[in-house]
Chain A
Amino acid sequence: MQEVYKAESVEQALKIFLELVKKGEIPAGSDDLLRVYKTDPEVQGLLTNVFEPLAEVKILETPDRLFLSPNTDNKVFGYTNEQLRQRLKFDNNRELYMGYFVMLSLLAMFYGSETMEEATRTYVTVSTLEEFITGKLEGLAAREDLRDLEKELEYNLVSSVELWRDLPEYDQTLVRLRGSKNNRVSFILKVCAFLQEEGLVVVAHDREIYVTEKLHQMVRKYYSDGGRKEQLLGLIRKRGE
């Protein structure tokens, strides 16, 4: 059966969608758009049933704001690896891979327990994160099939292990730590600077990393959805099979 929507609802839905594309989120009080989304089932239906699948995005709703999240392989609003390399100012995919691993490890530092209700800590120091990553990668480096894995794929985590191992932990001669990537601490700070631009973390004194409420809500809303989580874990497992 064909669905019929009122012109006014379409207009409101489009307004909400454009605002989300523009700013990434709609907090309470912004032009009443949040209230419209929550109280008008037709507008919400339009966004969920028409806009979300067509634009390959997911609108994440929390009691006091809406977030827009691009689906994993969004061709219109998503980034390619090349675009991300440019934003993160990385020279090659080995560095980009390591950058992704730093981000995942950071999430693990905060969401490493079974509960999603609270982050397990309020902040993490850059040195603690560096120790965590180094520890994890040392475990991988000890695997016997490491060389076979390396040959199999041009860019994967194995190739990044070498990169990480070759970096000194810290460079005391640097004045501006996050401007470099010639040591592990600077590398982490560089990745965190990107996450800070995205409004996901705050880095204090180039030493402590705090996650924002936005990241907390997005992690909780996106990754704890059973279907989406399985889809992502499926991608990881595919390689191992």
Chain B
Amino acid sequence: MHEALAGFGDRMRSLAVFYPVFNLQQARKYPEYDRVALGFGVLLFILESMLLGRSGCEHRDVGRFLRQVVEETYGHRLTEEEGLEMAYFFLDALRNDGHPFEFPFRDLETGVDAACKFTLVETASYEIHGKVLFRLSSEGLDLLFKTKEIYKELRITILQLLFRQQVEKGVFQEALRTVDNMLVQVRELHEDIRRLRQRILRNVGQITVADYVALVERVHEQFKREKETFFFLRGLLEETQKAYRQRSLTDNERQSFDLLVQVAGRLDLVINEHNSLFSRQLDLSSFLEEAMLESLAHTFRTRVNFEREFVDGVLANTPDLDVLRQILHPLWVCRKNKYFNVMKALDSQFVGMENEGMAEGQVGPDVTEMERQAERDRLLKEQRDARYRRYIETCFRPLWEREAYALKDALDLLAPEEYALLIGEAEFYPFLVQLHQMGVWPLVVEEEVAAKIIDSEGGNLPYLFVQYLRRHPELRDKKAVEVMASREELALANGYRVTNYRFRITELPAPPGAPAAQEV
């Protein structure tokens, strides 16, 4: 064997993960587009959703992504339906219609035929009503990382190095991306352990004790090293934040500091995930012992081929109906028999419920009804928030061009139908009162303060205002706006009378304040 061929099998396995992507060019569908590019784009899109910390993305997200890319690249506007169709095509192709990809090859090192099986996209979770979330499999992630030349075992370490450099150089925007990337890598380690658990669960025989010990040792060493580095990085961030806090900051520096606070928050998240990984891998050892015992029993089990033995058996013998019921019966949940006790009539009963449509015999809280109520509450909150967003936009719109104005100026900018809608909404008036009660509204988002303002059920104005400022970062130059009452009354078209509030650009209060926040 030529020494150039050492490790040939592993290299071929590394190469194999690319073939499904190139294979897309052979498909008959969508010849007008570059299917390799679009397929690769779909993989990158799934990676992007993982980087954003989402648990996965679904068919419709991929459909929307493809519509956007096709429109931007080819100028073709696809309908939502066509986008979804295209998502089905690419997701089917990249998942090989549900089968793992198989790549056979001749191993030139050993001289025998070999094959590798892999998947690129896997199911992250199922949700009720048939929504399925996808994420990249380990091989899928490998493929994308190979296009950036980073090896799997070293990914977290390399990202840690990169992160350190970025913090030291003060490029926090890039550090933020790196820390998100680290989170994906740590979660991928979680997944590795989950997959190992599943392999053990399904066939402990495939995992030898030596394999297991080697894995635990490798993982343990790797964790220890990474944990020490995380500890160091957290210290580095604390030091950097301290240095910022000790001096007065220019606008640019304040922006950097805000980013730094975000980076620190995300790093904490990564460290927490990493620590839980540490405890989970210890838990794996007892799990394995148990699975090994179970494997003794497994050796006595036989194999089943449902197609050959059952389906073909049924076709050949055409058994009667009951036989099929008996074959499938063990899969179903046991039928529960419920019996009526006549003494139930003497149980304590809900009274005064006749008019509320409570079903007969129903005495506890109805879970379905509670779910419906929660859904109704969620929708109401969404509608209320949308209205408040509109009020904020309306009241602060003149701020873009003027240093001072009155409520009337803001209302004059509305189209007649917008004006009629707004003054007819009862919530607009308490909104104005809240606006005034707050006095000075900072137009600069302090990340430390913003982190404590949460999206809440009621009284959500501070949160929505922070969201407004995030959408309009250019307002930060104006520092703050003060809302003051005036003696002048404004007569609205519907006959209502309100104070013609005054709005004025002002300095940030010292120490820097924020809208009354609901702290976590």
Residues of A within 8 A of B (CB): 20-22, 24, 38, 57-58, 61-64, 68-74, 76-79, 81, 83-84, 93, 96-97, 100-101, 103-105, 107-118, 120-125, 128, 136, 139-140, 149, 153, 155-158, 198-200, 202-208, 210, 212, 215-220, 222-226, 229, 232-233, 235-240
Q: Is the CB of A112 within 8 A of B201?
A: no
Q: Is the CB of A239 within 8 A of B202?
A: no
When C-beta atoms are compared, the residue in chain B nearest to A214 turns out to be: B331
Q: Is the CB of B306 within 8 A of A107?
A: yes
- Given B123, B200, B320, which contacts A153 in the complex, CB threshold below 8 Å? B320
Residues in A whose Cβ lies below 8 Å from that of B333: 24, 68, 198-199
**Bound Cα distance A218, B326 (Å):** 15
Residues in A whose Cβ lies below 8 Å from that of B312: 136
Task: Give me the 9 closest cross-chain CB pairs, A-B, nearest first.
Answer: A240-B317, A108-B307, A77-B334, A100-B324, A72-B326, A24-B333, A121-B98, A123-B98, A112-B307
Q: Is the CB of B59 within 8 A of A205?
A: yes
Residues in B whose Cβ lies below 8 Å from that of A112: 305-308
Residues of B within 8 A of A (CB): 59, 88, 92, 95, 97-100, 119, 122-123, 126, 130-132, 200-203, 206, 287, 290-291, 294, 300-337
Q: Nearest chain A CB to B295's CB is how many angstroms away?
A: 10
When C-beta atoms are compared, the residue in chain B nearest to A197 turns out to be: B333
Q: Is the CB of B316 within 8 A of A240?
A: yes
Q: A116-B301, A210-B123, A229-B302 are in contact. Are A239 and B322 (CB under 8 A)?
A: no
Residues in A whose Cβ lies below 8 Å from that of B322: 81
**Chain B interface, DSSP helix/strand/loop, else mixed:** helix
Q: Is the CB of A236 within 8 A of B313?
A: yes
- Name, among B122, B203, B304, B326, the residue most crowded by chain A CB atoms within 10 Å (CB to CB): B304
**Bound Cα distance A236, B203 (Å):** 29
Q: Return 28 A-B CB contacts under 8 Å, by A number.
A: A20-B334, A62-B294, A63-B201, A64-B201, A64-B287, A74-B334, A77-B334, A77-B336, A78-B334, A81-B322, A104-B310, A104-B311, A112-B308, A115-B303, A116-B301, A117-B206, A118-B202, A122-B123, A124-B97, A149-B318, A198-B331, A202-B130, A208-B98, A210-B123, A210-B126, A218-B331, A226-B301, A233-B310
Residues in B whose Cβ lies below 8 Å from that of A108: 306-307, 310-311
Q: A72-B326, A76-B337 are in contact. Are A136 and B311 (CB under 8 A)?
A: yes
Residues in B whose Cβ lies below 8 Å from that of A61: 294
Residues in A whose Cβ lies below 8 Å from that of B321: 81, 93, 96-97, 100, 155-156
Q: Is the CB of A71 within 8 A of B309?
A: no
Q: Nearest chain A CB to B470's CB is how many angstroms away?
A: 34
Q: Nearest chain A CB to B66's CB is how many angstroms away?
A: 16
Q: Is the CB of A139 within 8 A of B315?
A: yes
Residues in B whose Cβ lies below 8 Å from that of A38: 290
When C-beta atoms are compared, the residue in chain B nearest to A157 turns out to be: B318
**Bound Cα distance A237, B282 (Å):** 49
- Given A104, A114, A116, A120, which contacts B99 in the complex, CB threshold below 8 Å? A120
Residues in B whose Cβ lies below 8 Å from that of A226: 300-302
Q: Nearest chain A CB to B334's CB is how many angstroms away?
A: 4
**Bound Cα distance A204, B125 (Å):** 11
Q: Is the CB of B319 within 8 A of A239?
A: yes
Residues in B whose Cβ lies below 8 Å from that of A78: 329, 334-335
Q: Nearest chain A CB to B442's CB is how many angstroms away?
A: 46
When C-beta atoms are compared, the residue in chain B nearest to A110 turns out to be: B306
- Given B306, B323, B324, B334, which contacts A111 in the complex, CB threshold below 8 Å? B306
Q: Is the CB of B323 within 8 A of A117?
A: no
Q: Is the CB of B324 within 8 A of A116?
A: no
Residues in B whose Cβ lies below 8 Å from that of A20: 334
When C-beta atoms are compared, the residue in chain A nearest to B204 turns out to be: A63
Q: A104-B327, A114-B305, A156-B318 are in contact. Are A202 and B334 (CB under 8 A)?
A: no
Residues in A whose Cβ lies below 8 Å from that of B335: 70, 77-79, 83
Q: Is the CB of B291 within 8 A of A236?
A: no
Residues in A whose Cβ lies below 8 Å from that of B201: 62-64, 217
Residues in A whose Cβ lies below 8 Å from that of B300: 226
Q: Nearest chain A CB to B306's CB is how many angstroms away?
A: 4
Q: Is the CB of B319 within 8 A of A117?
A: no
Residues in B whose Cβ lies below 8 Å from that of A158: 318
When C-beta atoms are compared, the residue in chain A nearest to B288 turns out to be: A63
Residues in A whose Cβ lies below 8 Å from that of B303: 114-116, 224
When C-beta atoms are compared, the residue in chain A nearest to B331 turns out to be: A218
